[in-house]
A and B are shown apart, each in its own frame.
Chain A
Amino acid sequence: MRTAPLPVVAASAARDPRPDRSIDVPTDSHCPYCALQCGMSLSPAGRTSVRVRPRDFPTNGGGLCQKGWTSAALLGSPARLTTPLVRSGGVLRPASWDEALGLVAGRLREIVDERGPDAVALFGGGGLTNEKAYLLGKFARVAVGTSQVDYNGRFCMSSAAAAANRAFGLDRGLPFPVTDLDGADVVLLAGANPAETMPPFLSHLRRAAEAGGLIVVDPRRTPTAERAALHLAPAPGTDLALALGILHAAVADGHLDRDYVRDRTAGFDDAWRLAAAWWPERAERVTGVAAADQRRAAALLAGASGAYVLTGRGVEQHATGVDTAGAWINLALALGLPGRPGSGWGCLTGQGNGQGGREHGQKADQLPGYRRIDDPAARAHVARVWGVHPDALPGPGRSAYELLDALGTPGGPSALLVFGSNPVVSAPHARRVADRLAALDLLVVADIVLSETALAADVVLPVTQWAEEDGTLTNLEGRVLLRRRALPPPAGARTDLEVLHGLAVRLGQPPERFPADPEAVFAELRAASAGGPADYSGVTYDRLRAGEALHWPVPAEDHPGTPRLFLDRFAHPDGLARFAAVDHTGPAEPPDAEFPLHAVTGRVLQHYQSGAQTRRVEELRAAVPEGYVEAHPDTAGRAGLADGALAAVTSRRGKVVVRVRCVDSLPADVVFLPFHFPGDQRANLLTNPALDPVSRMPEFKVCAVRLSPAREARS
């Protein structure tokens, strides 16, 4: 039983004294947070940090949000880990790298010998560079031989990815450059709140907003919704019915693009037969969105000279997330938007490398290049690049939540290695996840700070962060970016690549099979991705250093990249896009007498994901220091609560204790909680791990809760 008292970490953030090659000149880089990957310029600020300035880059046009501006604060932060920690006597104590890696490798060997390779699991993240994601997947399949590898992107992009693959035969978040949106006069954002989650993105919607063409679908009146000409506020978990209602209105009001549907798509009739049952008045009954507004949305999109439908986590993080994303794609297809210049469908990727992270093999069912692990040709190709026999590669493993849920169970893994993720805070049904982690024989966490997951670990490995290492990321528009080292890492921290190299060698792998140099890893990734859907073979560090804008696929070094996909054909063998025959079924856990409210979880501007980074940046922490629950004043009042009072929010799975913020614009049966906060403020103590049958996405966005006063006893 692990109790995880706070360890004593006696290391200051001393830096490697060697001069860095770029120490005296500003380094062009990108923000460490979201998928917009804002361009920034880093200039030296003492030996331990850099000064951040926004850079004029297409995604951000010289803008930055508060997270980006303050991103350097973690570089020299006393919260940085600079020495490995090993638990002994229940306490994490400093250890040497050799001791820590030797211990991990030794335990892994024992566990594999005893229970087989699938007894070891790996958990990655959408913030890891392409090189790290690639090497992590290879490490799992080759050095350990386990099928049990997945990552937190499962909680982020998996539903949109599956829906896009089904519809178009290929998944690239935005199949067009983000700057294409600048020319749009109508944009529908479904379940996305970029005014808080990627603020500089809003500059691309300026024309649409000023033309009265911004449509926002969100149960809450978010800062993004406030800017919309039309805010559609469906009851939580009814986005699919709303999309069906708007599709119905589009067809009934004569907006169907019949030529496009005939020439470029398949499956309309089957999709329509289901949508035909969702006339706007019926959809209104289920969603609460006025039938007239559904018709107006259809008319706005259809009447635009350039229209886009964009989805975000709000519609995707459901047990019906794939079908819901598919329903919005159906609407875009019915109006003839995708695969035409100046219009389209896309999803707004969340994490910094949410796109690249899902392409290169840290996902349970995939191999590099967005290949399927159950495709014999894909296995043969990747095995050849890796110098192993195809039969030696394991098959598909468990998806993220199923993996976490199985930890420490008789049939599940008994060791877990975590890179770039904090599932104790970010996974659904968080109490269950914490229990499963505690049941492991070995938990290893590589992180830059002592995250909540690291606190529960047996071994913690301190790693470098964005400005201290080179690596590529693929942003929300499928453009491959080079993030460059701007200062030396603190002494004692190693890169994730070095960690994987060190472990692989200790597990008996030849050193050259697990290079630690990012450019060398990228060269291997290029070969492994060649010929795959996400083909990076023509991308080189030199081309990226020269500033080339390379959107994948880039199948050759003289290929200019592919900014816009699908202009001639979609990626299915017949070139046609597919309508999805989808119907509304509703949230997995509808409110009832005992739990009468819908709880919606999401993000705030100042924090990022589990908050492991942003909660340690003083300026961000001061702006939003703790979790809270938003409720309508009537709802709070009926629960005996007023603005600022301490409330308990309870679901079937757990209880959160946070302060109430009264918000007039919230529906009376909805409360909202940000999920960035630890301990008993963890919104994910409440969330429902009901999974989408295709993407295995948990239902983060809606669960049933009740609200009650909590005693003022917290210190």
Chain B
Amino acid sequence: MRRRTVLIAGYGMAGARLAEEIRRRDPRGDRLAVVAAGREPHLPYNRVLLSAVLAGAMSPASVRLQDEAWAAGHGVDLRRGRDVVAVDRDRREALLDDGTTVAYDVLVLATGARAWVPPVEGLLADDGAPAPGVETFRTLDDCARIEAAARDGAEVAVLGGGLLGLEAARGLAGRGVPVTVVHPVAHLMERQLDRGAGDVLARTLRGLGVRVRLNARAVRYLPGDGLKLDDGLVPADLVVVSAGVRPETGLAEAAGLEVDRGVVVDDELRTSDPAIRAIGDCARHPGTVSGLVQPAWEQAAALAGLLLGEATPYRGTSVVTRLKASGVDLAALGDVHTAPDDPDTEVLCLTDAARGRYAKLVVRDERVAGAIALGLPDAAAAITRFYDGGIPVPADRLALLLGRALPDGAAGGGGADPATLPASSVVCRCNSVSKERLVAAWRAGAADVPALATATRATTGCGTCRDTVAGVARWLAAQPATAR
């Protein structure tokens, strides 16, 4: 078979992953030649970890996805700092911004998304870039500029109380930066959380030093003063805009592909031109939430397989939202907005605002249909496992809601009361010695632990039952003679 050429437009989390997934399946490049063009001058990096960089937990170097040598060492012709600017679909040829052209058999759009800046007066300069004192939070360079400003003691307003905005705010607050989240809706993360959870989350964040302004409509950015709201002013030297992203679809539109809030793709990640595929934030697959890494990586894996003859299509990704913010444990998944009185659904809900805990479990047809777990890390893990596996929920729903599916200290140990211990219960597991055997040995004259050990071998294995055996001996000694 002829060796085909795949051109990847965009070398971020989706594009770089695709290159890796292709080389995992075709290590020597026998079947696919890979050319990739990425706009950013940096080596590809893990955008998910930018909030960790902002929080000071990680260095920019440690979030790199590939090192200098990876592309060359794996037969990937990487054009760093280069952008695909035009596509000639008839000739299957792409034009880069350095004037070179690349002929392709398959073009993969992995152009990602760009930060969206809401139409608030003063946020954008005349050239359309963020005004001085305004940063978006999307790239490693954004991150470096925010960090530099924060180091200089800037007061920060974060515009947007979604996932990424909250992670940024929490990270900055953790470094001692005075930070205020300005959110236009009545509760935080309204896409993923119901009102109750949003309220508890706001309370938790306030406890961690993040100021939160809800229902706050920003009307103007005043350099030097801050963000003017319709009912006041949030003082800020720096405004970090985290109000969502827009898919980067310019290239696709110019090429005449079907675009509808993203480049429209099918289960084989094909656009309206079968020679062009799209993955990651720029793509729109029915039933898949974009803007997250999980779908992007799953699409990269699926597409690599499809390009190399595997027949497994991409069926969408079920998303679990996890907030990565120190001191806040939040998971949200599925349908969380169902009200407790919904007749076709079981809804369990618990609020413990004072301790920062909120849990909601939505059960339909014996399966988890949605859930929120805030301040309940065990519940987040357990519920996710039931959700992802499509496992029927336990008969005891409350245990799952609380993440307490496991009984604590179910057996063994030294704490058992010898009086109430059932006669048949095994005290020494290593030697299968039950309480009744200890009692029999005691009655036959073995009155202390060494004697009981000699008579029954209890305590001679791992030794952990020693306290229980001693307790049984004491309990027997304390019995009236007739009851022994």
Contact = CB atoms under 8 A, between A and B. Distances in A.
Interface of A: 54, 62-66, 69, 194-196, 199-203, 206, 221, 223, 226-227, 231, 233, 235, 251-254, 269-270, 272-273, 276-277, 279, 281-282, 284-285, 288-293, 591, 605-606, 619, 623, 632, 634, 637-638, 664-665, 667-669
B176 interface: no
A664 B464 contact: no
A276 B46 contact: yes
A594 B407 CA distance: 30
Nearest to A194: B462
Contacts of A665: 406-407, 410
A281 B62 CA distance: 18
A634 B392 contact: yes
Q: Closest 9 CB pairs between A and B?
A: A202-B462, A292-B377, A199-B461, A281-B322, A290-B381, A199-B430, A288-B385, A199-B462, A290-B377
Contacts of B66: 273
Interface residues of B, number: 50
A273 B391 CA distance: 33
A705 B35 CA distance: 43
Given A69-B431, A221-B406, A291-B381, A279 B48 contact: yes
B460 interface: yes
30 contacts: A63-B460, A63-B461, A195-B430, A195-B464, A199-B429, A199-B462, A202-B463, A203-B463, A206-B463, A223-B411, A223-B412, A226-B411, A226-B412, A233-B406, A252-B52, A253-B57, A272-B62, A273-B64, A276-B62, A276-B63, A279-B49, A284-B322, A288-B382, A291-B377, A291-B381, A293-B377, A293-B381, A605-B430, A664-B406, A664-B407
A669 B381 contact: no
A623 B57 contact: no
B13 to A, nearest CB: 10
Contacts of B410: 221, 226, 664-665
Given A284-B384, A293-B381, 4 more contacts: A62-B460, A252-B57, A273-B66, A606-B432
B58 interface: yes
A623 B429 CA distance: 11
B172 to A, nearest CB: 17
A281 B457 contact: no
A563 B52 CA distance: 42
A200 B384 contact: no
A69 B377 CA distance: 44
Contacts of B464: 195, 202, 227
Nearest to A54: B460
A504 to B, nearest CB: 42
B463 A66 contact: no
Nearest to B389: A669
A667 B65 contact: no
Contact of A195 (B57, B324, B462): B462
Contacts of A203: 462-463
Interface of B: 46, 48-49, 52, 57-58, 62-67, 294, 320, 322, 324, 329, 331, 377-378, 380-382, 384-386, 388-389, 391-392, 394-395, 403, 406-407, 409-413, 429-432, 457, 460-464
B399 to A, nearest CB: 10
Contacts, number: 146
Contact of A69 (B324, B411, B457): B457
A276 B49 contact: yes
A233 B382 CA distance: 10
A668 B391 contact: yes
B460 A64 contact: yes
A135 to B, nearest CB: 34
Contacts of B412: 223, 226-227
Nearest to B432: A623
Nearest to B55: A252
Contacts of A634: 392, 394-395
A288 B378 CA distance: 9
Contacts of A591: 389
A223 B461 CA distance: 13
B16 to A, nearest CB: 11
Contacts of A221: 406, 410
A200 B381 contact: no
B297 to A, nearest CB: 8
Contacts of A194: 462
B431 A65 contact: yes
B462 to A, nearest CB: 4
Given A65-B430, A290-B381, A279 B409 contact: no
A54 B430 CA distance: 14
Given A226-B413, A252-B57, A254-B57, A66 B377 contact: no
B232 to A, nearest CB: 36
Contacts of A226: 409-413
B73 to A, nearest CB: 11
B322 A291 contact: yes
Contacts of A253: 57
A293 B376 CA distance: 11
Contacts of B429: 195-196, 199, 223, 605
Nearest to B403: A290
A202 B380 CA distance: 32
B461 A200 contact: yes
Nearest to A221: B406
A252 B58 contact: yes
A272 B381 CA distance: 24
A376 to B, nearest CB: 29
A668 B386 CA distance: 9
Nearest to A254: B57
B219 to A, nearest CB: 36
Contacts of B320: 285
Nearest to B379: A290
Nearest to B395: A634
Contacts of A279: 48-49, 52, 324
Contact of A63 (B329, B407, B463): B463
Nearest to B382: A288
Contacts of B52: 252, 279
Contacts of B324: 279, 281
Residue of B380, B412, B460 most packed against chain A (CB within 10 A): B460
B384 A292 contact: no
A272 B377 CA distance: 25
A252 B62 CA distance: 9
A638 B48 contact: no
Nearest to A593: B390
Given A64-B457, A65-B431, A221-B410, A201 B462 contact: yes
B170 to A, nearest CB: 14
Nearest to A256: B62
B98 to A, nearest CB: 28
A445 B461 CA distance: 33
A196 B380 CA distance: 31
B88 to A, nearest CB: 35
Contacts of B409: 226
Nearest to B462: A202
A54 B294 CA distance: 56
Contacts of A223: 411-412, 429
B133 to A, nearest CB: 30
A205 to B, nearest CB: 9
Contact of B430 (A62, A66, A231, A273): A66
A88 to B, nearest CB: 43
Nearest to A277: B46
Contact of B384 (A252, A285, A293, A668): A285
B388 A285 contact: yes
Contacts of A290: 377-378, 380-381, 403
B377 A235 contact: no
Contact of B65 (A252, A276, A284): A276
Nearest to A598: B389
A178 to B, nearest CB: 14
